[in-house]
Amino acid sequence: MTSIETAAPRPTEAPPLLSLRNVTKAYGSLKALDAVSMDVPAGEWLSIVGPSGSGKTTLMNIVGCLDRPTSGEVLLAGHSIAGLGGRALSDIRRTTVGLIFQKFHLIAHLNAVENVMVAQYYHSMPDEAEARAALDRVGLADRATHLPSQLSGGEQQRVCIARALINYPRLVLADEPTGNLDAANEHIVLELFRRLHEEGTTLIVVTHDPEVAREGGREIALDHGHVVREVHHG
């Protein structure tokens, strides 16, 4: 494994799937992100690391169309999203982004397959067979009718991954996906990510865990809202 430290975005030939230019997010006088710029080409696995309060989650919210920057430009799949309203952001989020959360955020009264179908329902049409196939891909075919309370943490995270992938998003954003998992389940989840990456899915993974960060092809470190380090892993 090799690491290259560089301060500037690495030039790429194809237009990037995601491009940030001088993106700033301020809460009053506090700048959670301060003039952050980066490009993420399609098919890349990018890890974002940094201490608590460094701006990782803020960056994920803006890239995931859950929040708007105070200033700067964000281009996602060719759309400038910085100035879009709630409804337009919702449309882009639905069609382009898959979200994976540290706390899974499964709906407690829906079983595993229904939790996957929720994403289908708000995207287009629910298809239970397809949702069951998605659960099968993450190794949960036999747990499809179990409620989240009947699943282990690792299983819940795999349902969350199946839900994020069911609409074939061009970009998957994972916020501390292994933060609540034991080593065995962390291994399963990372194996799923590897497979996704091999299939060409663009992955941005926020993590505290250096081991998880090294799984990505590139690693960006944030601190106090600034990009302080960029490392390419071979």
Partner 1 sequence: MFWRMVRAALTRQRTSRVMIALTMTLGACVATAMLGVMFDVGDKVNAELKAYGANIVVQPKGAAVLTDLYDDAAALASTASLRESDLANIPTIFWAHNIVDFAPFLEHRVTLLTDDAGPSPPQATIVGTWFAHELMGAAGQHTTAGLISMRSWWQVDGGWIADQDEGLALVGANLADAAGIAIGDTLTVDGGQGRSRDLRVAGIIHSSGPESDQLVAPLSTVQALAGRAGEVGRVEVAALTTPDNDLARRAARNPESLSVSEMETWYCTAYASSIAYQLDEVLTDAVAKPVRQVTESEGSILAKTQLLMLLVTALSLAASALAIANLMTASVMERAPEIGLLKAVGARDGSVVGLILAEMGVTGLAGGALGYGLGLGFAQVIGHAVFGESIAVRPIVAASVVVLVGVVIVAGAIPSIRMLARLRPADVLHGR
Binding site for partner 1 (CB under 8 A): 57, 61, 64, 66-67, 86-87, 90-91, 93-95, 99, 101, 103, 105, 107-111, 114, 117-123, 126, 147, 163, 175
**Residue placing its CB nearer to partner 1 in the complex, 165 or 231:** 165
As a whole number of angstroms, the distance between CA 196 and CA 188 comes to 13
For 122, the enclosing helix (H) or strand (E) is helix 112-123
Min dist CB 33 to partner 1, Å, is 13
As a whole number of angstroms, the distance between CA 135 and CA 181 comes to 18
**Residue placing its CB nearer to partner 1 in the complex, 24 or 232:** 24
Min dist CB 92 to partner 1, Å, is 9
**Residue placing its CB nearer to partner 1 in the complex, 70 or 95:** 95
Min dist CB 71 to partner 1, Å, is 18
Min dist CB 19 to partner 1, Å, is 21
As a whole number of angstroms, the distance between CA 120 and CA 57 comes to 25
Asked if residue 160 lies in contact with residue 106, where contact means CB atoms within 8 angstroms, the answer is yes
Using CA atoms in the order 35, 40, 45, 46, what is the torsion angle rounded to 10 degrees? Answer: -10
**Residue placing its CB nearer to partner 1 in the complex, 123 or 224:** 123
Residue 5 β-bridge partners: 231
Min dist CB 216 to partner 1, Å, is 21
Number of Cβ within a 10 Å radius of residue 220: 23
**Residue placing its CB nearer to partner 1 in the complex, 74 or 231:** 74
Angle at 86 between CA 9 and CA 122, to 5 degrees: 100
